[in-house]
Amino acid sequence: MNINKPSGANEPAVRADQLPRRKPAKITAVDWQILDAAARQRLQEFGVDEGVAIELMHSGPMGGDPLALRIGRMVVAVRRAQAAAIRVKVNEAS
Amino acid sequence: MTATPLVALVGNPNAGKTSLFNALTGARQKVGNYPGVTVERKIGRWTAGDGFTVDLIDLPGTYSLDPRSPDEAVTRNVVMGKQAGERRPDVILAVVDATNLDNHLRFILQLKALGLPLVVALNMIDLAERDALVIDTARLEERLGVPVIPTVAVRKRGLAEIAATVSQLLADRHSPEPLLTSAADEADEAAHDPAAVRELQREAREIAAYATLSEGQARRWSHALDGLTLHPVLGPILLALILFVMFQAVFAWAEAPMAMIDGMVVFLQNQVAAVLPGGWLRSLLVDGVLAGVGAVVVFLPQIIILFFFILLLEQSGYMVRAAFLMDRIMARVGLTGRGFIPLLSSFACAVPGIMATRTIEDPKDRLTTILIAPLMTCSARLPVYAVIIAAFIPDRSVGFGIGLQGLTLFALYLSGIVGALVAAFVLRRTVTKGVSHGFLMEMPKYQLPRLRDLLLGLWQRAWIFLRRAGTIILASTMVLWLLLSFPKPPADADRPALDYSVAGQIAHGLAVVLKPIGFNEEISLALIPAMAAREVAVSALGTVYSLQGNEDAVSQSLVDRLRGAWPLPTALAFLAWFVFAPQCISTLAITRRETNSWRWPAFMLAYLFALAYVAAGVTFWSATALGL
């Protein structure tokens, strides 16, 4: 399946809210500063960090918000606005 | 020290903490509140062989020691020995979900830094095994430096080993340690430092990777089920179906037990009336205490059934999915999916609904949810709706097998929901203005609910409800009885005795205000005792129209009497009034407690009465204009 942003050295990373469904990916970076303190803390507690596995499992029924993201072994509900802070890269092999 | 040792049970939400607590303590639990805060305090006696007896305290689930909600703050304060009204625990028993190690271990590392003796229960090890996830307990112990015991709380596996380990730690402890406070302060500081938290998270992941021998297949069942429950089309349909079944059950199943309770109250009233001579004491007991408390206790079956479903949905893990599906709608009015759960409870009664808002982290989000909770049609409105609908709405079909009476009831429910959404929308832009913090919620794996946990949860809810009926409601009905009974009418009275009472005189004043919206003096009078609880309006109307006979006869003939006495626009206005009116002292009392100020219950009272007045007025005027 075609992923809109193939990996490349200078390629801008895909954001978690742009992830295709059921494509395992890895977190490459997190823009912590665009999140408010509460969201930052919760996402950290959910294990969001560079190098952690991430996958879009489901999106909400109306307008595709919120998202159900698998982070490591845990699934969390996150709104698109917060998911946008997470930069990801889809795994090659999948 | 001779006091029974205190063991604190802590863990991330969804780690199976409550199941472990129930398995260890059985039914020997006490539910109370921490002084000054409205967080539930659950404590139980945990006994095992060899004379092992400790007090086990079930602390609210939290992800870290940096609290974001009042619940989480209690957990932090207790383990740090800073919670008023609680001793510092002697041992911490931390529960981790074996299938979610990398995440839960960070909290363990934070707890370990506190310096208290710590035991880790590696819970749900059976689910890990089912997922072919292999964890080496010895490696975990080696890296964490604390005892780790595999458990399956719901099957009581590993409980004896935990007791043995805790008992060993208690024997080893040298009390009191002066170093602990500084360790706690340091741990506290580290918990607030984002960089330190991320560092800890990395360490946790690294330990988890070291102890995990085989990754296995992550949560295949849960993911498959989510495919259905979170499906963009099927998901909402399933949710609607579940809610439909739930409400059907609340009304259908509760009918028989409610009639029984009602019968018992009448029986007691007759007994008291037969034994006591006529006089103020008999009147107080029969008309005040039994009628007032009975009118509330009669809703116990509905509350139990509703909570049965809510606990079932919560324990199975479905509730979070419902919140997920509802988040978008809630976001439109400035709330989040989290608010859906308390609002759902409010359909039984706003009091437990408002108590359930404690899980909402954002204070403004929480306050808004509290303020709109009374707009959900609680079961106390039903008797009022039932009588008025029976009297004024013709029992005929509007086609497709839908009855006009049922449709009216549905419209009343819908008005409440729409009213709540509009109110939230306005409140979030005015009174509770502020940025939304978004919706972040863990979606736990599905689990088969356990009968024991379900029954214990139900028992606790029922007990809280009954205790309230025996205290606040008992007191307020007695006050109302006083207002309704005194002063006594003069000997040559030509009007009903009620007219002469304090309440009657207040009603005269009220009638002036309520006349423009079509309410007559009888309604004004009935609204006063209905402040205690909405359903009292029905029996009050019965009294005002000076009817006699047992309760069934009252509502029977009340329907006929109302039909003759009220024009249709007045009846419709009365229904509209009850959709919005804050006629419930208990709701205001719980709002006072949960918001810790008189400001918000006062605001709630004012805004809901204003809404009720306008709604009843608009209904009355337009119905009159339409010539109904």
A59 Cβ under 8 Å from any chain B Cβ: yes
A55 Cβ under 8 Å from any chain B Cβ: no
Stretches in chain B below the pLDDT threshold 50: 1, 178-179, 546-556
Nearest chain B residue to A62, by CA: B328
pLDDT on residue B180? 56
Residue closest to B616 by CA, chosen among B485, B488, B503, B520: B520
Q: Provide, as residue numbers in chain B, all residues whose Cβ is less than 8 Å from the Cβ of A66.
A: 324, 327-328, 337, 439
pLDDT on residue A5? 44
pLDDT on residue A12? 59
A39 Cβ under 8 Å from any chain B Cβ: yes
Q: B6-218, superfamily in CATH?
A: P-loop containing nucleotide triphosphate hydrolases (3.40.50.300)
Q: Dump pLDDT digits (tens) for B405-414.
A: 888 888 999 9
Q: Is the pLDDT of residue A79 over 90?
A: yes
Record the tokens describing residue B20, joined without a space. Answer: 């472990």
Record the tokens describing residue B224, joined without a space. Answer: 């498959």
Inter-chain CB proximity A76 and B100 less than 8 Å: no
Q: Looking at CA atoms only, how far is residue A38 from chain B in angstroms?
A: 7
Place of tokens 């919670």: B83
pLDDT on residue B496? 67
Q: Looking at CA atoms only, how far is residue B233 from chain A in angstroms?
A: 7
Which residue has better confidence, A5 or B559? B559
- Three-class secondary structure of residue A54 per DSSP: strand
Inter-chain CB proximity A47 and B103 less than 8 Å: yes
Domain-by-domain residue ranges, chain A? 14-90
A34 Cβ under 8 Å from any chain B Cβ: no
pLDDT on residue B544? 64
pLDDT on residue B182? 67
Inter-chain CB proximity B327 and A60 less than 8 Å: yes
Q: Dump pLDDT digits (tens) for B156-178.
A: 899 999 999 999 988 887 655 54
pLDDT on residue B399? 76
Inter-chain CB proximity B324 and A57 less than 8 Å: no
pLDDT on residue B218? 64
Inter-chain CB proximity A38 and B361 less than 8 Å: yes
Q: Dump pLDDT digits (tens) for B507-517.
A: 888 999 999 99
Nearest chain B residue to A80, by CA: B438
Q: Looking at CA atoms only, how far is residue B355 from chain A in angstroms?
A: 22
pLDDT on residue A3? 46
Domain-by-domain residue ranges, chain B? 6-218, 234-434, 467-625
Residue type, B594: E
CB pairs under 8 A between A and B: 122
Q: Provide, as residue numbers in chain B, all residues whose Cβ is less than 8 Å from the Cβ of A44.
A: 194, 197-198, 201
Q: Shortest CB distance from A60 goes to which of B197, B328, B361?
A: B328
Q: Shortest CB distance from A41 goes to which of B66, B233, B438?
A: B66
Contact assessment for residue A25 and residue A53, using Cβ atoms and an 8 Å cutoff: yes
pLDDT on residue B177? 52
Length of chain A: 94
Q: Shortest CB distance from B230 goes to which of A62, A68, A72?
A: A68
- CATH code of the domain occupying A14-90: 2.30.30.90
Q: Provide, as residue numbers in chain B, all residues whose Cβ is less than 8 Å from the Cβ of A81.
A: 438
Q: Shortest CB distance from B443 goes to which of A43, A44, A76?
A: A76
Q: Looking at CA atoms only, how far is residue B338 from chain A in angstroms?
A: 11
Determine the Cα–Cα distance for residues B461 and B476; give it in Å rounded to an integer.
21
Residue closest to B544 by CA, chosen among B556, B532, B529: B529
A61 Cβ under 8 Å from any chain B Cβ: yes
Q: Is B620 left (phi over 0), alpha (psi -120 to 50) or beta?
A: alpha
Record the tokens describing residue B447, joined without a space. Answer: 């689990």
Nearest chain A residue to B194, by CA: A41
B230 Cβ under 8 Å from any chain A Cβ: yes
pLDDT on residue B540? 73
Q: Which letter does DSSP use for residue B149 in this model?
A: E
**Residue B351 CA from chain centroid, whole number:** 6
Determine the Cα–Cα distance for residues B373 and B364; give it in Å rounded to an integer.
14
Determine the Cα–Cα distance for residues B166 and B20; give it in Å rounded to an integer.
15
CB within 8 Å of chain A, chain B residues 466-505:
none
Interface test with B, best of A62, A70, A71, A76 (most B CBs within 10 A): A62
Q: Which letter does DSSP use for residue B117 in this model?
A: -
pLDDT on residue B575? 95
Inter-chain CB proximity A72 and B103 less than 8 Å: yes
- Counts for chain B of helices (H) and strands (E), in that order: 28, 10
The mean pLDDT value for A7-24 works out to: 76
Q: Provide, as residue numbers in chain B, all residues whose Cβ is less than 8 Å from the Cβ of A65.
A: 327-328, 331
Q: Is A72 left (phi over 0), alpha (psi -120 to 50) or beta?
A: left
Helices A37-45 and B194-211 cross at an angle (nearest 10°) of 10
pTM metric for this prediction: 0.83
Q: Shortest CB distance from B226 goes to which of A39, A58, A72?
A: A58
Inter-chain CB proximity B201 and A46 less than 8 Å: no
CB within 8 Å of chain A, chain B residues 585-624:
none
Which residue has better confidence, A45 or B348? A45
Inter-chain CB proximity B441 and A76 less than 8 Å: yes
A32 Cβ under 8 Å from any chain B Cβ: yes
Nearest chain A residue to B101, by CA: A73
Q: Provide, as residue numbers in chain B, all residues whose Cβ is less than 8 Å from the Cβ of A68.
A: 226, 230, 324, 443
